[in-house]
Amino acid sequence: MKIEVNQQGCVGSGQCVLAADELFDQDDDGIVILLRDHAGPGLRDSAQRAASLCPARAITLSD
């Protein structure tokens, strides 16, 4: 599963890091940093959770 983030839209909530800290981090301004742009089978669910909880819908997943 491919992961993309839109840093312009990100509001720094940290919701994604709470859901999947293997995939996401935040810089000092809170803006999302993508740690890996692919999620293997073990991380699909947490990637999905991060994307659906993001209040700015700044995370896009594709197969």
**Residue labelled with tokens 């983030």:** 5
Minimum distance, C-beta of residue 57 to another protein, in the bound complex (Å): 6
Q: Which is nearer to ligand SF4, 47 or 59 (CB)?
A: 59
Of the candidate residues 17, 23, 47, 50, the single one contacting another protein (CB under 8 A):
17
In order, the DSSP letters of 5-61 are E-TTT-----HHHHH-TTTEEE-TT--EEES-SB--GGGHHHHHHHHHH-TT--EEE
Contact between 35 and another protein per CB under 8 A: no
Footprint of ligand SF4 on this chain (CB under 6 A)?
Answer: 5, 10-16, 24, 26, 32, 54-56, 58-59
